[in-house]
A and B are shown apart, each in its own frame.
Chain A
Amino acid sequence: MLDLYASGAALGALVGVALLAATVRGSFLALVYPASAAAAVVLGIVDLHVLLGGGVATAHLPIGLPTIGLHLRLDALSAFFGLVVNGGVLAASLYGMGLDRAKEMTPRVEPLFALFVAAMNLVLLADDAYAFLFSWELMSLASWALVIARHTDPECRRAAHLYLVMAAIGTVALLFAFGGLAGQAGGYAFSTMRNQAPQPLIAALILLAALVGCGSKGGLIPLHAWLPLAHPAAPSHVSALMSGVMTKVAIYCFIRIAFDLLGSPAWWWALPPIVLGVLTAVLGLLYAVLDGDLKRVLAYSTIENVGVIFVALGLALAFRANGQDGAAAVAMAAALLHCLNHSWFKSLLFLGAGVVLHATGRRDLDGLGGLIHRMPRTAVFFLVGALAIAALPPLNGFVSEWLLFQAVMAAPELPQAALHFASPAIGAMLALAAALAAACFVRVYGTAFLGRPRSAEAATAHEAPLIQQVALGGLAVLCVLGGLLGSVLAWALGPVLAQTVGSALPGDGSGPTPLSLVAFDPERSIYDAPVIALFVLIASLATMLVVHRLSARRTRRGPAWDCGFPDPSPLTQYTASSFAQPLRRVYGTTAFAARETVDMPPPGDGRPARLTVVSVDYAWQAFYAVPARLLLRLSERLNALQFLSIRRYLGLMFAALVILLSIAALTT
């Protein structure tokens, strides 16, 4: 109970600061970030206490809808996601404290930032459908308003418009999901829903509605189109929150419905999240690897990570439906750890992109380059984030990836043919996604931070303010620690796993060393990050010592060799687009029907040669452009109804009456 009081006080204070900032403005705008940071710390401590202490805090307040009131509940699941949310909030707030009050703070952003933070925390606390949807909408609208903060930019307006439409569709879907869960009696409190299992058909519809609702917020293909537009359009620390944290709230919602409220699963529930997740993971990265805008690449990669998490959740559903709780715990642990890890490295990368944007004023990869020389610390932090998101050991991204692969390798043991024959395809697609993630972030880092500057702005970039470096550095340290101490994190997940799938990972001491991560049993597979990292460290130090002793230690700086023809112009470097060209030719021709045509003028003609690439976004065509066109055409047809004679209108009304009456007569 004390936990909820503390949370309530923190959230209340935060909303108070938001109101002050919105009304008084002035110096209160700058107060938002320290207040958010403090609130994040308080809320994080509460979450940690609930998660590790194993308690459940509940409250019932007589506000809200008269018949329901307001139910609040903080259990292991919401506490874990609270930690995810508030870690990201803390980093984003620290970054915000480095913003220039006079130039970079407006009443359009800062008050809404605090409101957005409070709304995300409220979603996690809500324990009835009304409170949940209210805070969910608050979260959507606050982030929408943050997207449209730069409303003079037509790109932002378009992004915000699409976001608003998709958020509305998502909320409607969730409305149906909760309606189905409440049943005919209309029990809107989660505790009532938990105790009544819906009919199988209804349950399936609820699951699909939840998938649409959460998928549209998380960016599951084909509901993703708004995300790569809206996330980059917001200020960078808000992008970090939207991408790193808000997508996790969507995943929380799916877990809450599918693993908590909906009762025991049927095996085929696993198929929609797995199929959509795999598709999202691969396509998201293909979009990312072909895009040239730093922040949009990050947003596309968020889509990929959400897809990976949904695959893990789908596997957890499949294992749980078959009573394989151990494997379900592995899949669930992969999903949860990936949520946590992604919130760290994606926030890190978005904040890093913000620093780059501030230092150079550019987001296009082909205009950056050589930032490692001008922004040495940011470059190190960004490198950690890039390697972590590429799922490379010994960083944190690989821990969840490893657990997920272990879960996939247990999938052939599932009795349903559809699932165990799908398992190699899932494994191969996830491996492709991992390899593409490495490609994507080598490309991003290689063009933005390495090489030579491609523009005057990049050549004169400056390092970020200290407090922003602290935010980036803290997240980078978390990425390293999370990679080394994955087994500790997996242990801390115990209560959440027990709550969602009723089992946990093998505990401490089951592996040969105390910090080794064991998925099933040590005979089967082990990932011992500390030992590997230690040996890599020892091996590199020993190599360094030996090589320096044996070799001529002379080093000379000279012009680049480049096969004997170095060109001083930085334009001769490989760009982000040229880096992506082989990938576009291999994958893009199928996925996006990408075609390139080269217009080479004949000798003697002075025109420049031209390379044109045309590609088709099938998802946009099929799910957005065509339906929108149909809708327009339909409304044009219906437009004719506005200009009828009164006789016709009366006839129509009479026909409607007859039809309704005959329906009533037939059904009763």
Chain B
Amino acid sequence: MTGDLILQFLAQGAQMTMVLLIAPLAVGVVRLVKARLMRRQGPSLLQGYRDLAKLLRKESVIAESASWLFRSAPYLIFALTWVAAALVPSFASGLMFNWAADVVALVALLGAARALLALAGMDVGTSFGGIGSSREIMIATLAEPAMMLIVLTLAIAAGTTRLAGVADFFIAEPWAVRVSLALSLIALVIVALAENARIPVDNPATHLELTMVHEAMILEYSGRHLALIEAASHLKLVLYLSLLICLFAPFGMAPATAGVAGWLAGLVLWAAKLLLGAALLGVWEVSIAKMRVFRLPDFVGVAFVFGFLAILLAFLSRGAVA
């Protein structure tokens, strides 16, 4: 029993380490795919790690008007995102953390990280920090209702909001993919793009003043603080990719009792799916242009409408079954 517990603990620790280690690689894949599609050589896949190491070595310049909140926020944001990322089942379901929170709590944890980041953006008292915070928060108000609808669809379909439970449900009946779930997949992809500040919602590569959202918020950060914030946004990307994998392509995920060999197999498969997802993101980002900020309600509104349709279909299909 104790040995089992230690093994569980180690597995959970392995997951926390894995998401942390793979995050810069996933971002590297996105960047490389984008560069290659634009016929550029592109950075090395390891550039993400090098950037973080470089930032950690640099000194931090903090604005004179910054308060303690500005300095402590990166640590909390990083920790919140990290714990949230560890809550999503990746290579195995039924790990310790899967019991601690359901998807509602997961969304709320990310919300807490975002609120802290928005506050940090306003702390120095510059116009760019404010513009970033206010737009980020506006986008969140658009994305969260859509996310809620997706969660509700899953709850109706699987009868649980625990991610591991949903994954188990979809593994058990993999061919019962209904139309409603395809619709919520589209909705979740849109929400994920909005939450991760990817094109067309926001451009992570931009420093054009008036189009920035996420980059404007973190403009005042440098050195180790910037490294933490960058690492947190990488983690968030991995989190959403893992979430998509866990909900819509959970095959190959090891059950909690699979043991070390099963976990390893699950791990390799998960990493492959994750990097594939990152590559797809790269293709998507090259093939679409960034939208104006006030076109976003239309774009994220699509997620909302699809989420709503998904629920109605879930009702109807359930009615047909019952």
0/1 per residue, A484-524, Cβ < 8 Å to B?
Answer: 00000000000000000000000000011000100000111
B137 near A393 with CB under 8 A, answer no
Supposing A402-B105, A434-B144, A446-B119 touch, asked if A573 and B100 sit within 8 A by C-beta, the answer is no
A-B contact pairs, 20 of them (CB 8 A): A392-B115, A402-B104, A412-B152, A424-B308, A428-B304, A450-B123, A450-B125, A524-B162, A526-B101, A532-B100, A537-B79, A539-B79, A543-B75, A555-B62, A560-B64, A561-B126, A563-B219, A574-B127, A574-B134, A582-B138
Q: CB of B61 within 8 A of chain A?
A: yes
Question: How near does chain B come to A668, taking the closest CB pair, in angstroms?
Answer: 54
State the A residues within 8 Å of B (CB): 369-370, 372-373, 383, 387, 390-393, 398, 401-402, 405-406, 408-409, 412, 420-421, 423-424, 427-432, 434-436, 438-439, 441-443, 445-447, 450-452, 511-512, 516, 522-528, 531-532, 535-537, 539-540, 543-544, 547, 550-552, 554-563, 566-567, 570, 572-575, 578-583, 585-587
Bound-state CA distance A555–B102 (Å) is 39
A438 near B115 with CB under 8 A, answer yes
Supposing A402-B108, A446-B118 touch, asked if A543 and B308 sit within 8 A by C-beta, the answer is no
The A-contacting residues of B in range 128-153, CB under 8 angstroms, are: 128-131, 133-135, 137-138, 140-149, 151-152
Residue among A370, A412, A526 making CB contact with B156, cutoff 8 Å: A412
Q: Which of B133, B135, B146, B318 gathers the greatest number of chain A CB atoms within 10 Å?
A: B133
A536 near B127 with CB under 8 A, answer no
Bound-state CA distance A430–B223 (Å) is 39
Q: CB of B76 within 8 A of chain A?
A: yes
B224 near A531 with CB under 8 A, answer no
0/1 per residue, B109-121, Cβ < 8 Å to A?
Answer: 1011011001101
Residue among B56, B105, B112, B155 making CB contact with A552, cutoff 8 Å: B56
B161 near A409 with CB under 8 A, answer yes
Beyond contacts A540-B79, A556-B59: 17 other A-B pairs, Cβ-Cβ < 8 A, are: A372-B123, A391-B108, A392-B112, A424-B311, A431-B148, A511-B99, A524-B161, A532-B109, A535-B86, A547-B75, A554-B60, A555-B62, A560-B64, A560-B124, A560-B125, A561-B126, A570-B125
Supposing A551-B223, A574-B130 touch, asked if A452 and B122 sit within 8 A by C-beta, the answer is no
Number of interface residues of B (CB under 8 A): 89
B59 near A547 with CB under 8 A, answer no
A451 near B148 with CB under 8 A, answer no
Question: How near does chain A come to B133, taking the closest CB pair, in angstroms?
Answer: 7
Nearest chain-B residue to A547 (Cβ)? Answer: B224
Nearest chain-B residue to A582 (Cβ)? Answer: B138
Question: How near does chain A come to B59, taking the closest CB pair, in angstroms?
Answer: 4
Q: CB of B36 within 8 A of chain A?
A: no
Bound-state CA distance A537–B75 (Å) is 10
Q: CB of B315 within 8 A of chain A?
A: yes
B residues near A585, Cβ cutoff 8 Å: 294
Bound-state CA distance A560–B70 (Å) is 12
Supposing A439-B140, A446-B133 touch, asked if A543 and B104 sit within 8 A by C-beta, the answer is no
Supposing A547-B224, A572-B127 touch, asked if A516 and B100 sit within 8 A by C-beta, the answer is yes
Q: CB of B285 within 8 A of chain A?
A: no
Residue among B63, B145, B159, B315 making CB contact with A561, cutoff 8 Å: B63
Residue among B60, B156, B308 making CB contact with A555, cutoff 8 Å: B60
Q: CB of B277 within 8 A of chain A?
A: no
A452 near B125 with CB under 8 A, answer yes
B140 near A438 with CB under 8 A, answer yes
Question: How near does chain A come to B289, taking the closest CB pair, in angstroms?
Answer: 20
Residue among B141, B162, B224 making CB contact with A435, cutoff 8 Å: B141
A451 near B125 with CB under 8 A, answer yes
Nearest chain-B residue to A410 (Cβ)? Answer: B155
B residues near A511, Cβ cutoff 8 Å: 99
Question: How near does chain B come to A463, taking the closest CB pair, in angstroms?
Answer: 15
B residues near A578, Cβ cutoff 8 Å: 130, 134
Nearest chain-A residue to B130 (Cβ)? Answer: A574
Q: CB of B178 within 8 A of chain A?
A: no
Supposing A450-B69, A526-B99 touch, asked if A432 and B145 sit within 8 A by C-beta, the answer is yes
A residues near B307, Cβ cutoff 8 Å: 424, 428
Bound-state CA distance A384–B178 (Å) is 43
B residues near A527, Cβ cutoff 8 Å: 101-102, 104-105
Q: CB of B240 within 8 A of chain A?
A: no
B122 near A447 with CB under 8 A, answer yes
Question: How near does chain A come to B296, taking the closest CB pair, in angstroms?
Answer: 8
0/1 per residue, B64-92, Cβ < 8 Å to A?
Answer: 11011100000110111011001000000
A residues near B209, Cβ cutoff 8 Å: 563
B63 near A558 with CB under 8 A, answer yes
Residue among B79, B126, B219, B304 making CB contact with A573, cutoff 8 Å: B126
B126 near A536 with CB under 8 A, answer no
A408 near B152 with CB under 8 A, answer yes
A residues near B141, Cβ cutoff 8 Å: 432, 435-436, 439, 583, 586-587
B residues near A447, Cβ cutoff 8 Å: 122
Q: CB of B202 within 8 A of chain A?
A: no
Bound-state CA distance A525–B104 (Å) is 9
B152 near A423 with CB under 8 A, answer yes
Question: How near does chain B come to A224, taking the closest CB pair, in angstroms?
Answer: 21
B126 near A579 with CB under 8 A, answer no
A536 near B79 with CB under 8 A, answer yes
Supposing A405-B104, A431-B145, A451-B124 touch, asked if A586 and B138 sit within 8 A by C-beta, the answer is yes
Q: CB of B275 within 8 A of chain A?
A: no
B100 near A557 with CB under 8 A, answer no
Q: CB of B293 within 8 A of chain A?
A: yes
0/1 per residue, B154-183, Cβ < 8 Å to A?
Answer: 011001111001000000000000000000
Q: CB of B58 within 8 A of chain A?
A: yes
A452 near B294 with CB under 8 A, answer no
Q: CB of B25 within 8 A of chain A?
A: no
A582 near B220 with CB under 8 A, answer no
Question: How near does chain A come to B190, taking the closest CB pair, in angstroms?
Answer: 15
Question: How near does chain B come to A187, taking the closest CB pair, in angstroms?
Answer: 44
Q: CB of B50 within 8 A of chain A?
A: no
B residues near A405, Cβ cutoff 8 Å: 104, 148
A525 near B102 with CB under 8 A, answer yes
Bound-state CA distance A441–B152 (Å) is 26
Residue among B57, B105, B144, B149 making CB contact with A393, cutoff 8 Å: B105
Question: How near does chain A come to B142, taking the closest CB pair, in angstroms?
Answer: 7
